[in-house]
Chain A
Amino acid sequence: MLVISYASLIGLLRDRGALIMAFVLPALIFVIFAAVFSGTQGDGLEIKVVFADTTQSEQGTAIGTALSSDTEVRFAQGGAPADSLSRATARDMVLSGQADAAIVVVGPVLVPAPREPGAVPVVVLADDAKPIAGALAAAAVQRALGDAVPGSVSPPVVDILAAAEGERDPAVTYYAGAITIMFLFFAALQGAVGMIEDRASGIVDRLMLTRGGAGALVAGKYLFLTGQGAMQASVVFAVAWLGYEVVVWDAFGAFAVTTLLAATSAAGLAMAIVSVAATRAQALATGNAIVLVMSAVGGSMVPRYMMPEWIQDLGAMTPTGWVIDAYQAVLFRDVATPDLEGTWMLLAGFSFVALLFSWIATRVKERAA
């Protein structure tokens, strides 16, 4: 089994194209994406907000009602005006990623002019990772005030505050995870197609006579691809840490588990694709298409909150989406390990099913060929 990993390692080290694809390109693309997307502005987005009225006033209720009919916002589950949340709960919902922004009514809207500096009646608590969401929520508040409390719109009435504290760059943290998982999938696919050549040349025929048979073949390759993936992720995060101060040490255990599961998922998917493909070209074409779509939908290229709702729902069902969410939770949102277990279980389950599928498909193929 280990010897297959060794043979695959030599193959990687002696193939310059694969090496560049595996280790240089991901870091490069990460830097490019981080630069390009850190200043993105969005139009026509529907954002997910949570509403809290700390004044429990008529005006507050009217603002909530007006927001309900605004087509550019929708309420996160449990964050609708009727649920009367506290400011702290609303903030937690933003920090945990359940909502893109919180709209909190903190004081009376109509006061004798001039308003005291800093005493705005409504604050928007924005997720640092979603800078556009804050601006869009503030715009929605302005519209709602216009509807609900005519005559109130004498600035300043709304303030945008960061929900989280600290100086981490949200875009960079996001793309470290997003780019890593996309390239893990691509590199795993590239590594796994070697199995098709092994099949064509008769190496697999030879292996089927040995003790391990199909099991050793699949397990050895899986182990190698997982190791390769973990190394790749480490390279990207090392660049993120050194160049952009992305903190991986604070929750290193959770980071390591996420990285390992990201690597096993990539290895599993690549092996599953290759185990059913008839030729190298077929495996690459199919695999690239699957990985590209999954990366786009899952949020490797553009954060999911900036996508239409149905794509967001689709993205939440992809391993890409799970890995990105897990990295965000670990590196940016400081989510505790127990809250991550669900995502980890999804990734572990996906890896296991994919591995099992590859093993069965390889056995069936080798018996029937």
Chain B
Amino acid sequence: MSYRYGERVALNGVSLTVMPGDVFALLGPNGAGKSTLIRTLCGRLRPTSGSVLIDGHNPARSRVARGRIGLVPQDIALYPYMTVAENLSVFGRLAGIRGAQLVTMVDHAITATGLEERVDQRVETLSGGYKRRANIASALLHAPKLLVLDEPTVGVDLDARNSINAVLRSLSEGGMSVLITTHDLDQAASVASNVGIIVQGQIVETGAPDELVAERYGGAQEMVLLLAELADPGVAAILTNSGFKSLEEGRLWRGRLSSDGPGIDALTSQLVSAGARVRETRVRQPGLDSLYADLTGESEVA
């Protein structure tokens, strides 16, 4: 599927499938096309070419398809002056649910997101984590087949993030398809059954996070070097020649140590004799963040 804003290509031949029970994490820098992809999924934009099918229906044309999507926007898309229960009731009715079914679905959404203790509290008085949960709960009322979350962990603390992850896991275990865009590589690594890395409107890599990492790096180890000051040209040349890339303006470097190249000690002493002051060295297994940095040229998801 492709989408153009006039001359600018926002999505270029994107293809992805989210199966029931999958948690698909979409990772990519700002402007990579994540928001455009979500808008096309929700039927707000019609693809310039290709198509989107939700449970067999096209969301740009079919209300049925749109009704199978639960959208959790990035901001808290709730009425702040209403309580959690009032909000759920309003959004449930807007989704076309009435009467006894509404009561059941509201209860279900409250239980699924662990909001039992906060139902009668106004949304504006909730903590960030509970607001996020209520934001998710409001998208569950019509029992969507696909839950789309746009950056659900922006600005939340670790506990809240973990609890959101737990909510997403339990929803996917119940058979719901979940698609999230996230800045949070740890979150993606922890909840996603599949990830897609999108760069300049194209999905450059997709698959299960562990498999993708294993495929790319095999058993290789990764070394992270932190210098006390910016690398001068001599130091930078040594690092670049050894296959290292600079992050954070030349103080932080990351590279792989191949089994047949110079070891850590050899590289460090080379750097020291070139005048570098090495503050920290770390050796670790490459992870999703390494893959992301290699594919996008960025150290963190932006």
Contact = CB atoms under 8 A, between A and B. Distances in A.
Interface of A: 3-4, 6-7, 10-11, 14-15, 200-203, 205-212, 216, 366-367, 369
Contact of A211 (B67, B90, B91, B138): B67
Interface of B: 42-45, 63, 66-67, 69, 71, 73-79, 81-82, 86, 90-91, 93-96, 138-139, 150
B143 to A, nearest CB: 14
Nearest to A210: B94
Contacts of A7: 79, 82, 90
A206 B90 contact: no
Given A210-B94, A367-B44, A205 B82 contact: no
Which of A4, A10, A203 counts the most chain B CB atoms within 10 A?
A203
23 contacts: A6-B90, A10-B81, A10-B82, A15-B81, A201-B73, A201-B75, A201-B78, A202-B71, A202-B73, A202-B74, A202-B75, A203-B77, A205-B71, A206-B73, A206-B138, A208-B44, A209-B43, A209-B66, A210-B95, A211-B67, A216-B94, A367-B45, A369-B44
A11 B42 contact: no
Contacts of B95: 210-211
B90 A209 contact: no
A15 B80 CA distance: 11
Contacts of A201: 73, 75-78
Mostly, the A contact residues are helix
A201 B94 CA distance: 17
Contacts of B86: 10
Given A10-B86, A203-B79, A209-B69, 15 more contacts: A3-B94, A201-B76, A201-B77, A202-B74, A202-B77, A203-B77, A205-B73, A206-B138, A208-B42, A209-B42, A209-B71, A210-B66, A366-B44, A367-B45, A369-B44
Contact of B96 (A200, A205, A210): A210
Contacts of B94: 3-4, 207, 210-212, 216
Contacts of A15: 81
Contacts of A202: 71, 73-77, 150
Contact of A3 (B69, B74, B76, B90): B90
A313 to B, nearest CB: 44
Contacts of A4: 94
B75 A14 contact: no
Mostly, the B contact residues are loop
Contacts of A3: 90, 93-94
A157 to B, nearest CB: 68
Contacts of A216: 94
A217 to B, nearest CB: 9
A357 B75 CA distance: 28
A202 to B, nearest CB: 3
Nearest to A367: B44
Contacts of B93: 3
A6 B95 CA distance: 15
Given A3-B93, A211-B96, A206 B139 contact: yes
A15 to B, nearest CB: 7
B39 to A, nearest CB: 8
Contact of B63 (A11, A205, A211): A211
Which of A15, A201, A205, A209 counts the most chain B CB atoms within 10 A?
A209
Contacts of A210: 66-67, 94-96
A366 B44 CA distance: 7
Given A7-B90, A366-B44, A367-B44, A209 B75 contact: no
B71 A11 contact: no
A322 B63 CA distance: 42
A209 B71 CA distance: 8
A289 to B, nearest CB: 28
A164 B63 CA distance: 61
A220 to B, nearest CB: 9
Nearest to A8: B79
A284 B93 CA distance: 30
A210 B44 CA distance: 12
B142 to A, nearest CB: 8
A205 B42 contact: yes
B207 to A, nearest CB: 29
